[in-house]
Amino acid sequence: MLLKRRAGVLLHPSSLPGKSDQGDFGHEAFRFIEFLSACGFSVWQTLPLGPTHSDRSPYQSLSVHAGSLLLISLDWLVDHDWLPSSALDETDINAEYRQACLKKAYAGFCQHADEKMRQAYATFVEEKADWLHDYALFLALRNDAGGRPWMEWPAALRDREAKAMLDANRRFHEECEYVRFEQFVFNMQWNELRDYAHKNGVYLFGDMPIFVAHDSAEVWAHRENFLVDEHGNASVVAGVPPDYFSETGQRWGNPHYAWDHIRKDGFQWWIRRMQSQLKLFDLVRIDHFRGLEAYWEILAESETAQQGHWVKAPGDELLKALFEAFDDLPLVAEDLGTITKEVTDLLYKYKLPGMKILQFAFNGDPENPYLPQNFTENCVVYTGTHDNDTTLAWYETLPEADRKYLHEYLDGSDVPMPWLLNKCALSSVARLAMLPMQDILGLGSGHRMNIPGTTQGNWQWRFEWSQVSDGLAERLRALIQLYGRLN
């Protein structure tokens, strides 16, 4: 993908328009692909697609392999005659209603699916058996426990004792079958969307969190891979020290990896995880890449991330194993934050493109690595990411000195924001230029996707087609062609 200059858009499917409480893989997703193609964009970047906890953060998933039921299109289920069309007459389609519809669709599948579809389901279950059965039972047990994390379950289930597991599989057989069906539908819908994207000249760019949520199927089923005690509790957790995004750092709360155990079989757990991502995406970003070289370790009882220290990780060994397992591994490294020479050396050794954020560039320092003059071709440039405010909102709060420097540097006093920064990204030497949908639409304050270090009010932003102005696609296509990114 990155052998040619390209341009893309950053938008999570949950931000697509629609009448439900969030976007999904329905008709609007196909329309969005058509919009990208009309504009000349050849890359669609999403956030992680996994099943989320109640805060809906895609970076704290219940599974590193499974997909979120909230992204499943109900229209698709109606089109396959597994769900009655009357289900879509509901005006308040939320998470609970979606799940109720999926359970009706499962009953419809059991009654009406033809032999070809039943065989496709059986094949899917067999191919995904190394994670799907654990995830299905984990979710069934978690639901039975009222949503409590697995560390608070009865000890026999928490510790996966043989008799308790056998009894649970018998007791929750039907619930597990439903979860497997749910994942089958997610897989079917995503594959159709991916195929449509490819037919329209659009590649899919995914995002893989480096750490795993504590309350997840993987930590429950493979406790030996994580630094947790005999009760499943972690004494140290992940995060990052104080940085641009937060004065107190970010305490994520994920358990750290038991790297000594993971390396014993040649990092097979990580290889299987990457394999799942490559089934979904043409290009994968490793979030918090620097954590593969050294990670920030925080005592679990600490309320903030300020008190912590760096601990070395076997990133070189891991990447070597991954590149040996996959040909032409299509990775991008999220190399933001505290970047050391060791992290940079790891990027160079494996020729991984890093990220450049233009909102970080204009502080008056000519050595600033985010200034376009300091780019190399092998990078991905963004105006901002899902963790930044929109470019217009950022610009409006920029100190006057930085704003003056920005205009002097870009010589664009007559070009309004965010188009000045959009053009800067597209014209740069970076092989891939990514624009958040908010910046394409010129949106200001109130349209942010996430504020790092906070847990309320995030992951809810959505756009509307009415915000797409007449002539926008033609304007974007002309710029993308002008800067040699039309493919």
* Structural domain contains residue 213: yes
**pLDDT score, position 19:** 86
Segment 310-336, tens digit of pLDDT: 999 999 999 999 999 998 899 999 999
Q: On the CB side of 464, how many CA atoms lie within 13 Å of its CA?
A: 5
**pLDDT score, position 242:** 86
* Structural domain contains residue 487: no
Segment 343-397, tens digit of pLDDT: 999 999 999 999 999 999 999 999 999 999 999 999 999 999 999 999 999 999 9
**pLDDT score, position 243:** 78
Catalytic residue numbers, as ranges: 287, 334, 387
Average pLDDT, the chain: 95
Dist. CA 54–CA 147, nearest whole Å: 10
Q: Are 220 and 138 in contact (CB under 8 A)?
A: yes
Dist. CA 85–CA 17, nearest whole Å: 20
Domain range for residue 398?
6-482
Q: Are 449 and 15 in contact (CB under 8 A)?
A: yes
Segment 398-423, tens digit of pLDDT: 999 999 999 999 987 789 999 999 99
Domain count, the chain: 1
Q: Which two tokens stand for residue 287?
A: 């979030």
* Residue of 385, 382, 390 lying closest to 446 (CA atoms): 390
Segment 146-166, tens digit of pLDDT: 999 999 999 999 999 999 999
**Integer angstrom CA distances of residue 246 from 117, 178, 241, 249, 250:** 49, 41, 8, 5, 7
**pLDDT score, position 414:** 84
Q: pLDDT-derived band of residue 127, with 50, 70 and 90 as boundaries? A: very high
Q: What's the one-letter identity of residue 343?
A: V
Segment 194-207, tens digit of pLDDT: 999 999 999 999 99
Q: What's the one-letter identity of residue 415?
A: V
**pLDDT score, position 222:** 97
Dist. CA 154–CA 159, nearest whole Å: 9
**pLDDT score, position 1:** 82
* Residue of 184, 203, 212, 183 lying closest to 273 (CA atoms): 212
Dist. CA 166–CA 157, nearest whole Å: 10
The count of other CB atoms within 10 Å of the CB of residue 307 is: 11
Residue 92 pLDDT > 90: no
**pTM of the entire predicted model:** 0.96
Mean pLDDT, residues 204-230: 97
* Structural domain contains residue 312: yes
Dist. CA 414–CA 331, nearest whole Å: 37
* Structural domain contains residue 451: yes
Q: pLDDT-derived band of residue 26, with 50, 70 and 90 as boundaries? A: very high
Q: pLDDT-derived band of residue 139, with 50, 70 and 90 as boundaries? A: very high
Segment 443-462, tens digit of pLDDT: 999 999 999 878 889 999 99
Residue 59 pLDDT > 90: yes
Dist. CA 380–CA 332, nearest whole Å: 8
Beta bridge partners of 61: 52
* Structural domain contains residue 331: yes
**pLDDT score, position 478:** 98
**pLDDT score, position 246:** 79
* Structural domain contains residue 1: no
Mean pLDDT, residues 99-116: 95
Q: pLDDT-derived band of residue 128, with 50, 70 and 90 as boundaries? A: very high
CATH of the domain at 160: 3.20.20.80
* Structural domain contains residue 186: yes
**pLDDT score, position 455:** 83
Which residues, other chains included, contact 303 with Cβ-Cβ below 8 Å and sequence gap of 6+? 251
Residue found by looking up tokens 């002309």 in the block:
478
**Secondary structure, 3-state, 240-283:** ECCCCCCCCCEEEEEECECHHHHHHHCCHHHHHHHHHHHHHCCE
By the 10 Å C-beta count (0-12 exposed, 13-18 middle, 19+ buried), 456 is classed as: exposed
* Residue of 346, 356, 329, 350 lying closest to 430 (CA atoms): 356
Residue 247 pLDDT > 90: no
Q: Is 372 helix (H, G, I), strand (E, B) or coil?
A: helix
**pLDDT score, position 453:** 79
Mean pLDDT, residues 260-272: 97
The continuous run of DSSP H or E covering 395 comes out as: helix 391-396
* Residue of 357, 341, 482, 9 lying closest to 205 (CA atoms): 9
What angle separates helix 95-112 from helix 173-199, to the nearest 10 degrees?
90
Sign of CA dihedral 375, 380, 384, 388: negative
**pLDDT score, position 181:** 98
Residue 245 pLDDT > 80: no
**pLDDT score, position 276:** 97
Residue 91 pLDDT > 80: no
Worst-scoring range by mean pLDDT, 213-227, 231-245, 250-264? 231-245
Residue 90 pLDDT > 80: no
Mean pLDDT, residues 155-180: 98
